[in-house]
Amino acid sequence: MKTVLLSVLMLLSGVYASSQTPVYMDESRPLDERVEDALSRMTLKEKVAIIHAQSKFSSPGVPRLGIPELWCTDGPHGVRPEVMWDEWEQAGWTNDSCTAYPALICLSASWDPELSYLYGKSIAEEACFRNKDVLLGPGVNIFRTPLCGRNFEYFGEDPFLTTEMSLPYIKGVQDNGVAVCVKHFALNNNELNRHTSNPVVDDRALHEIYFPAFKAAATRGDAWSFMGGYNLFRGEHASYNPYLMNEVLKGEWNYGGAVISDWGAVHDTPSAVNGGLDMEFGSWTDGLKAGQKNAYDNYWLANNYLVGLQDGTYGEDVLNDKVRRVLKLTMRTAMNRNRPWGEMVSDAHRQSCRQIGAGGIVLLKNDKGLLPVNPAKHRKIAIIGENAIKMMVVGGGSSSLKAKYEITPLEGLKARFGKVADIVYARGYVGDVSGEYNGVTTGQDLTDSRSKEELLAEAVGCAKSADLVIFIGGLNKSPHQDSEDTDRLDYNLPYGQNELIETLYDANPNLVVVNVAGTGVAMPWAKKVPAIVQAWYGGSEAGNAIADVLSGDVNPSGKMPYTLYATLDQCGAHRLGDYPGTKTTDRFGNEMWDIPYKEGIYVGYRFTEKNNLKPTFPFGHGLSYTTFGYGKAVLDKTEMEKDGTLKLTVPVTNTGSVAGKEVVQLYVRDVKSSLDRPVKELKGFSKLEIAPGATAIAEFEITSDMLSFYNPASKSWEAEPGTFELLVGSSSADIRSKAKFTLK
Ligand code: BGC
């Protein structure tokens, strides 16, 4: 009788959509309804089980209800190879080699939102093929200091560029049924002491510099999950920081997705329960201590939490909120039956990898038109430097990948020029011979027993004998370079490269320096060396992408996503002397490092411009093999109503002889304001492809958001009436046309 009654009730309440499909399984029903249905069927134990890991990268779902496991993967440059269930070491699969995509800093340097979408789509296809549900990326932390070990995984120093270049990536990933996990919210701006850093940041800098990309991901981007940082803020860990997670993300921004901890970022149960964290991953457990069968029961959000729920320490409402978010994430991904199967290392992926790699390369300097390489003149080409032969996909921390293949720069250049020019190679220095991360090896043996003098002599001889010298050096992904968990120790290039570059220049001034790195470095030789190229970690197609640009097959169109400071002292974080902060203790008596962000909103070009400092290359800088002439910037009106809009148009002509792309940049200057404001701020950009002799029009819509600042007194964004200047240019330091208007 009871069963009959229950069935009737279930039918009436719509639990069954059709005869057999329960509501939570029925993809035609609204997501929230499905979530509520699933939640109502779960036991307390099942609820607790679903909000923490069961292995290094997965959570268990609800087996009894057929709700599948949720599988995460790094992220953000490709799909991480399979590790053991309980260990970081390799599982030893032979079918998990991926296409390694260029580092996100390269994507950002393309200033091309279409490439960003393509990147997201491609990497999601690889994730689908590997049956992964949550891709741990993109990272949208701001490049505050060039020493930060993870700048290569982020989008540079500007909040607007970071926002506009990360949103299409997010869409590309999620359009394919894979969730992004936007990381590391918030203020994970250095790796040194990353578990104990406690940035002290004013509200204005938070809202104007460090929050915008996260806010956009949560609101405009509808990112399905977020990852908290390891660091602290206001003395509380970021991954369950009541201010960051509850007040800002889930409160002000009304975020409905799931908050995932960084791996091992959780330290106690009450804080994790109440601080807005929804899922715990990567905690270090010692199952033996508590005598559990499963070490994961010792997670902070596991048995400890369950006991607290049972004895009334914690209420079920907070738990239900977490479970709802995790169910939603699972339904959007693992339970999406329409998710594509995906593909791995397909021709399309090889191509998109190469296209993005070449699209992000920045031509910093090209005196006397030394580039592109001209085989008619450059019959013998000397390629020098370790980064010409070093594989770079392995290393750098959690973004390290097992690539199906990786083309080094020397291989790419040989493939492109080998038949038309004589190519000779000399290493010049021995830097880093490592080629292993977490059990993945490059297979390269880079050991070299020659002395410094022998290496130098060979390189100089090689340079002297050639018509063109291409030095390919920079950083790599070993500790204290571009690598997670450590910051760089020095702004200079390592391994004596500065001296080597000077010596090579003396030997042969037809010198091109290709700097392969993911963050800023000093270039004391920049005035001398005629051609400088900023290449990044290009992933599988790195060498081909470099060859594409050096040959002119692809006309360079990347622009710097950060200021290339001449010295570290030009960077606010260092000039004002607050890096890496002061040692203190948190409320539990644990070590903590207060880092006052004394420069406030003046990060990157905002700082150099305010202080009249001249960097080696400014933010937004990048040349082409053609030239662009800017016409007059014209506004449709000279006055803007409050909350109104204006239209700005700027004609740009390709005045050279080859087709090219120009990133037209729009900066806004508030001529007079009640609060101090940067000289100007990036508020728009448009990448135009223009044939030789042709003119294209860059169009911008001017809205009041672009004019406003965050007023910490009123806790709101304000656009003050008065005069504004719109500065349109080819870089932050190369403004070609201006227009003015008044905001009423
Ligand atoms: C990193 C995250 C990464 C996670 C999982 C952490 O150490 O900070 O970015 O996604 O590990 O590998």
Confidence of residue 19 (pLDDT cuts 50, 70, 90): low
**2-332 and 361-551 have identical folds:** no
Residue bearing the CA closest to ligand 1, atom 3: 398
Alpha-carbon separation of residue 628 from 557, 572, 652, 696 (angstroms): 12, 33, 6, 10
Confidence of residue 284 (pLDDT cuts 50, 70, 90): confident
- 197-253 tens-digit pLDDT: 999 999 999 999 999 999 999 999 999 999 999 999 999 999 999 999 999 999 999
Q: Which of 1, 42, 50, 4 is nearest to 22 (CA)?
A: 42
Which burial class, exposed, middle or buried, applies to 477 when counting CB atoms under 10 A from its CB (0-12, 13-18, 19+)? Answer: buried
- In this structure, the residues whose C-beta lies within 6 A of any atom of ligand 1 are 74-75, 136, 183, 262-263, 398
Task: Please report the pLDDT score of residue 2 as a whole number.
Answer: 44
Percent of the chain with pLDDT over 90: 94
676 is a catalytic site residue: no
Task: Using the predicted structure, report yes or no on whether residue 10 has a pLDDT greater than 50.
Answer: no
CB 191 within 8 A of CB 146: no
Q: Which of 115, 114, 97 is nearest to 106 (CA)?
A: 115
Instruction: Round to whole Å and give the CA distance between 570 and 589.
Output: 35
Task: Please report the pLDDT score of residue 557 as a whole number.
Answer: 98
Q: Sign of the C-alpha dihedral, residues 196, 200, 205, 207?
A: positive
Task: Please report the pLDDT score of residue 613 as a whole number.
Answer: 98
- 661-692 tens-digit pLDDT: 999 999 999 999 999 999 999 999 999 999 99
Instruction: From the CA of 184, give the closest atom in ligand 1.
Output: 9
> Could you give the 3-state DSSP secondary structure of residue 6?
helix
Q: Which amino acid is at 360?
A: G
| CATH class of domain segment(s) 2-332 | alpha beta
Task: Using the predicted structure, report yes or no on whether residue 278 has a pLDDT greater than 60.
Answer: yes
Residue bearing the CA closest to ligand 1, atom 5: 263
Q: Phi-psi bin for 291: left (phi > 0), alpha (psi -120 to 50), beta? A: left
| CATH class of domain segment(s) 626-743 | mainly beta
- 596-649 tens-digit pLDDT: 999 999 999 999 999 999 999 999 999 999 999 999 999 999 999 988 999 999
Residue ranges of the alpha helices (H) in 299-346? 303-310, 316-332
Instruction: Round to whole Å and give the CA distance between 523 and 513.
Output: 10
Q: Phi-psi bin for 221: left (phi > 0), alpha (psi -120 to 50), beta? A: alpha
Main-chain phi, psi angles of 676, to 5 degrees: -60, 135
Task: Using the predicted structure, report yes or no on whether residue 9 has a pLDDT greater than 60.
Answer: no
- 57-110 tens-digit pLDDT: 999 999 999 999 999 999 999 999 999 998 889 999 999 999 999 999 999 999
- 365-384 tens-digit pLDDT: 999 899 999 999 999 999 99
Task: Using the predicted structure, report yes or no on whether residue 15 has a pLDDT greater than 50.
Answer: no
Residue ranges of the alpha helices (H) in 159-294? 159-174, 203-205, 212-218, 269-274, 287-290
Tell me, in angstroms, the distance from the centre of ligand 1 to residue 81's CA. 14
Residue bearing the CA closest to ligand 1, atom 4: 263
Q: Is-above-0.85 flag for pTM?
A: yes
Task: Please report the pLDDT score of residue 635 as a whole number.
Answer: 98
Q: How far is CA 289 from the centre of its chain?
A: 38
Tell me, in angstroms, the distance from the centre of ligand 1 to residue 655's CA. 46
Task: Please report the pLDDT score of residue 290 as a whole number.
Answer: 56
Confidence of residue 292 (pLDDT cuts 50, 70, 90): low
Domain locations in the chain as residue ranges: 2-332, 361-551, 626-743
Q: Which of 480, 371, 378, 486 is nearest to 431 (CA)?
A: 480
Which of 74, 262, 578, 670 is the catalytic position? 262
Q: Find tokens 């390369």 and name the residue.
A: 361
CATH of domain 361-551: 3.40.50.1700
Averaged pLDDT, 576-593: 92
Q: Which two tokens stand for residue 603?
A: 């990060």
CB 535 within 8 A of CB 546: yes
Confidence of residue 489 (pLDDT cuts 50, 70, 90): very high
- 139-166 burial code (b ≥16 CB/10 A, e <16): bbbbbbbbbbbbbbbbbbbbbbbbbbbb
Q: How far is CA 546 from the centre of its chain?
A: 21
Q: Which two tokens stand for residue 62?
A: 């609800």
Q: Which amino acid is at 322?
A: K
Tell me, in angstroms, the distance from the centre of ligand 1 to residue 140's CA. 14
Tell which one of 197, 484, 486 to mutate to probe ligand 1, the residue whose CB is within 8 A of the most ligand atoms: 484
Task: Using the predicted structure, report yes or no on whether residue 11 has a pLDDT greater than 70.
Answer: no
Whether residue 75 is preceded by a cis peptide bond, meaning omega within 30 degrees of 0, is yes
Average confidence score pLDDT of the chain: 95
Tell me, in angstroms, the distance from the centre of ligand 1 to residue 485's CA. 10
- 649-666 tens-digit pLDDT: 999 999 999 999 999 999
CB 523 within 8 A of CB 362: no
Tell which one of 82, 136, 188, 281 to mutate to probe ligand 1, the residue whose CB is within 8 A of the most ligand atoms: 136
Task: Please report the pLDDT score of residue 286 as a whole number.
Answer: 55
